[in-house]
């Protein structure tokens, strides 16, 4: 049986970034976009260009860099959004504008305060305007799963006539149930007269843990694009996870009439990259990319796997990229080996100075840690890119005294807007002392919501990657720091979070109305 292509639309950089605290810098987004291109994602939703100057710059940089995937920007169904998206996408080999408006009774009445006819007219003009800039236009019916069926068919018919080539019916609030949601997609495809002129797409949120099941059910009923994210990142409980969708389809070819062009051997490295950049750890029992996904604990399982792998394994770990990142560098590796490994990982620098600074940090790290893995290099580059730009707070020096029977004491020198300042404090523990000392200086009034440490690689000499989540006035940021000394990593992560709080916020596509 010949298979249809299922288009994989990755929205890690847009919906994924809407996870509270998951904001990324332009350089970090470009690194993730390059990894997604290597993974052979069909469409990369690079951001929401109008939401901030930073988002615009990221969409533009990705459009200028990525060659093998379509690059897409989100735009509400209004002229300024569409023009801004078109401007950011100018340099792309293949560009898509993704415009949307809410279509459910509850959203139209309370959020938009518009009648269905007004919504339909605005959707049609938005699609027509977008088509003036690009041939590839996607239209989304926000809150599609709670949209009244006849209205849904009417608006879809009209936007296809206006030039939309992809129709996305999101389960925005994660309310759908697989049989019901998939069945609805099938009925819409049947009920819309010109449905053969568009690709039908789904975009499911995971509020009930059903995002992947709902997406796969829709595929069985005719959807040919799935919107998903690495590690299932996304607004609230997240989106359907790319790795689960792709591997379900690949592993159960007996069930699905589709295949993807994804190179699955890049799944685990991409998952790690996204986790390290966003500071969202992957739970050990997460399917495909969790540390335990291919680990066999019980004796019975181990015995079975050793005798005949298929007794307990339905996929091979190496097919999804486990073990792919094991090439090591060490103390004696030179600049050429370092640069060439970075290039293979898709990492490039804007300037020679940045490369020199990364190499200096590499040498520093190699003095403390015998073998440097790809994960170390990723963490190190994040450090260079996030901690060297024009930051308000920079750690210059730190001493921490921790002795049994007495309060830990931290003394720090921090560069604040170009001037060095010394500060010290006691704390309940060494990390507490460091954070108290920083706060003496910064007086940020932020609340510490999360402090977590993950080992970048295995062993006691591994770098600790620390995430610090701060909240102030409803805004949440995640700071990151990595070092073989977890106390240094903790100080850097806290300062990074403070620096992020000093940057301007962004417009949220769904909360502001149109
Ligand atoms: O969840 C949603 O409805 C969205 C749209 C903007 C596509 O993210
Ligand atoms: Zn969404």
Give me the DSSP letters along 291-346.
Answer: TTTT---SHHHHHHHHH-GGGT-SS-GGGGTTTTT---EETT--HHHHHHHHHHTT
In a domain, 341, yes or no: yes
Helix ranges, 66-177 (H): 79-89, 105-106, 116-133, 149-162
In a domain, 51, yes or no: yes
**Ligand 2 midpoint to CA 499 (Å):** 28
- pLDDT class of 352 with cuts at 50, 70, 90: confident
In a domain, 253, yes or no: yes
Which three-class secondary structure state does DSSP give residue 89? Answer: helix
pLDDT score of 309 more than 80: no
Could you count the other beta carbons within 10 Å of the beta carbon of residue 352?
Answer: 8
> Ligand 1: which of 102, 171, 174, 203 to mutate, most ligand atoms within 8 Å of CB?
203
Question: Do 219 and 135 belong together in one domain?
Answer: yes
Question: Do 409 and 363 belong together in one domain?
Answer: no
Those residues whose C-beta lies under 8 Å from the C-beta of residue 392, and which sit 6 or more positions away, are: 416, 417, 498, 499, 502
Ligand that lies nearest to the alpha carbon of residue 139, given by its number in the listed order: 1
In a domain, 267, yes or no: yes
Q: Tell me the mean pLDDT in the region 155-184.
A: 98
203 lines ligand 1 (CB under 6 A): yes
Q: Tell me the mean pLDDT in the region 311-335.
A: 82
State the Cα–Cα distance between residues 202 and 217, nearest whole angstrom. 10
**Ligand 2 midpoint to CA 239 (Å):** 7
9 lines ligand 1 (CB under 6 A): no
State the Cα–Cα distance between residues 115 and 109, nearest whole angstrom. 7
140 lines ligand 1 (CB under 6 A): yes
pLDDT score of 507 more than 70: yes
Owning domain of residue 350: 327-386
Question: Do 21 and 169 belong together in one domain?
Answer: yes
CB-based contact 69:30 (threshold 8 Å)? no
In a domain, 284, yes or no: no
Which two structure tokens, joined as six digits, stand for 126? 């938005």
> Ligand 1: which of 16, 74, 126, 142 to mutate, most ligand atoms within 8 Å of CB?
142
pLDDT score of 137 more than 60: yes
For residue 175, the domain's CATH number is 3.20.20.70
pLDDT at 326: 59
**Ligand 1 midpoint to CA 230 (Å):** 16
Which two structure tokens, joined as six digits, stand for 406? 């007495």
Question: Do 314 and 381 belong together in one domain?
Answer: no
DSSP code, position 205: B
Ligand that lies nearest to the alpha carbon of residue 176, given by its number in the listed order: 1
16-32 b/e (C-beta count within 10 Å ≥ 16 → b): bbbbebbbbbbbbbbbb
For residue 421, the domain's CATH number is 3.30.160.270
**Ligand 1 midpoint to CA 496 (Å):** 29
225 lines ligand 1 (CB under 6 A): no
Number of domains in the chain: 4
In a domain, 110, yes or no: yes
pLDDT score of 389 more than 60: no
pLDDT at 141: 98
**Ligand 2 midpoint to CA 322 (Å):** 29
Which two structure tokens, joined as six digits, stand for 285? 């029992």
pLDDT score of 489 more than 80: yes
pLDDT at 377: 86
- pLDDT class of 332 with cuts at 50, 70, 90: confident
Question: Do 115 and 201 belong together in one domain?
Answer: yes
pLDDT at 382: 75
Question: Do 382 and 405 belong together in one domain?
Answer: no
Ligand that lies nearest to the alpha carbon of residue 514, given by its number in the listed order: 1
Those residues whose C-beta lies under 8 Å from the C-beta of residue 193, and which sit 6 or more positions away, are: 157
- CA 269, 270, 274: angle at the middle one, nearest 5? 120
Strand partners, 412: 398, 423
Question: Do 223 and 346 belong together in one domain?
Answer: no
Question: Do 217 and 343 belong together in one domain?
Answer: no
Ligand that lies nearest to the alpha carbon of residue 102, given by its number in the listed order: 1
Could you count the other beta carbons within 10 Å of the beta carbon of residue 1?
Answer: 4
pLDDT score of 487 more than 90: yes
Domain finish residue from 336, 352, 386:
386
170 lines ligand 1 (CB under 6 A): yes
In 3D space, the residue among 411, 410, 484 whose CA is nearest the CA of residue 453 turns out to be 484
In a domain, 286, yes or no: no
CB-based contact 251:30 (threshold 8 Å)? no
CA 190 and chain centroid, separation: 34
Q: Check the CA dihedral 252-13-29-291 and report its sign.
A: negative
Query: Which DSSP helix (H) or strand (E) runs through 393?
Result: strand 393-401
- pLDDT class of 115 with cuts at 50, 70, 90: very high
Domain finish residue from 386, 409, 436:
386
221-254 b/e (C-beta count within 10 Å ≥ 16 → b): bbbbbbbbbbbbbbbeebbbbbbbbbbbbbeeee
Give me the DSSP letters along 229-242.
Answer: BGGG--STT-B-BH
Question: Do 364 and 454 belong together in one domain?
Answer: no
Which three-class secondary structure state does DSSP give residue 378? Answer: helix
Q: What is the pLDDT of residues 2-58, one digit of tens each?
A: 799 999 999 999 999 999 888 888 989 999 999 999 999 999 999 999 999 999 999
In a domain, 285, yes or no: no
pLDDT score of 160 more than 90: yes
**Ligand 1 midpoint to CA 201 (Å):** 12
Nearest CA to ligand 1 atom 5: 142
Question: Do 315 and 338 belong together in one domain?
Answer: no
pLDDT at 297: 58
**Ligand 1 midpoint to CA 48 (Å):** 11
pLDDT score of 113 more than 60: yes
What's the chain's average pLDDT?
92
Question: Do 104 and 214 belong together in one domain?
Answer: yes
Atom of ligand 1 lying closest to residue 509 CA? 6
**Ligand 1 midpoint to CA 151 (Å):** 18
Atom of ligand 1 lying closest to residue 98 CA? 7
253: left (phi over 0), alpha (psi -120 to 50) or beta: alpha
pLDDT score of 296 more than 70: no
Domain finish residue from 386, 408, 435:
386
pLDDT at 510: 82
Residue 188, φ and ψ in degrees, nearest 5:
-65, -45
Question: Do 27 and 150 belong together in one domain?
Answer: yes
């Amino acid at each position: 049986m010949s298979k249809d292509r299922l288009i994989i639309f990755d929205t890690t950089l847009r919906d994924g970034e809407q996870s509270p605290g998951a904001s990324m810098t332009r350089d970090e987004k470009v690194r993730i976009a390059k990894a997604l291109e290597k993974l052979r994602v069909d469409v990369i939703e690079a951001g929401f260009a109008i939401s901030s100057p930073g988002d615009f710059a990221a969409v533009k940089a990705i459009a200028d860099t990525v060659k093998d995937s379509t690059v897409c920007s989100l735009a509400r169904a209004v002229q300024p959004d569409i023009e801004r998206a078109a401007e950011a996408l100018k340099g792309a080999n293949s560009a898509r504008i993704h415009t949307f408006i809410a279509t459910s009774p509850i959203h139209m009445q309370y959020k938009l305060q518009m009648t269905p006819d007004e919504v339909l007219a605005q959707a049609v003009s938005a699609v027509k305007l977008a088509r003036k800039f690009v041939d590839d236009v996607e239209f989304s019916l926000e809150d599609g799963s709670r949209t009244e069926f006849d209205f849904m068919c009417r608006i879809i018919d009209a936007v296809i006539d206006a030039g939309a080539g992809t129709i996305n019916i999101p389960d925005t609030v994660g309310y759908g149930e697989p049989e019901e949601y998939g069945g609805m997609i099938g009925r819409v495809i049947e009920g819309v007269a010109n449905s053969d002129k568009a690709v039908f797409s789904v975009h499911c949120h995971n509020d009930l843990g059903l995002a992947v099941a709902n997406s796969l059910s829709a595929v069985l009923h005719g959807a040919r694009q799935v919107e998903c994210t690495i590690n299932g990142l996304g607004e609230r409980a997240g989106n359907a996870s790319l790795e689960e969708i792709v591997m379900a389809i690949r592993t159960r070819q007996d069930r699905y009439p589709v295949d993807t062009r994804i190179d699955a051997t890049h799944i685990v490295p991409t998952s790690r990259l996204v986790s390290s950049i966003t500071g969202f750890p992957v739970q050990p029992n997460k399917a495909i990319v969790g540390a335990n996904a291919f680990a066999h604990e019980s004796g019975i399982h181990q015995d079975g796997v050793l005798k005949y792998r298929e007794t307990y394994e339905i996929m091979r770990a190496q097919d999804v990229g486990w073990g792919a990142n094991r090439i090591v560098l060490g103390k004696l590796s030179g600049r050429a080996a370092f640069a060439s490994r970075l290039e293979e990982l898709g990492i490039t620098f804007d300037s020679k100075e940045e490369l020199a600074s990364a190499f200096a940090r590499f040498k520093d790290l190699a003095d403390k840690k015998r073998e440097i893995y790809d994960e170390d290099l990723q963490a190190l580059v994040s450090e260079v890119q996030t901690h060297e730009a024009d930051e308000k707070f920079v750690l210059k020096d730190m001493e921490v005294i921790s002795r049994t029977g007495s309060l830990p004491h931290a003394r720090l020198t921090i560069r604040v807007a170009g001037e060095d300042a010394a500060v010290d404090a006691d704390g309940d523990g060494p990390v507490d002392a460091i954070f108290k000392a920083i706060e003496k200086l910064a007086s940020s009034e932020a609340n510490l919501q999360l402090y977590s440490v993950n080992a970048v690689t295995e062993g006691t000499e591994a770098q600790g990657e620390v995430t610090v989540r701060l909240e102030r006035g409803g805004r949440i940021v995640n700071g990151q720091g990595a070092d073989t000394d977890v106390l240094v990593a903790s100080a850097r992560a806290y300062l990074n979070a403070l620096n992020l709080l000093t940057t301007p916020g962004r417009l949220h596509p769904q909360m502001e109305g149109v």
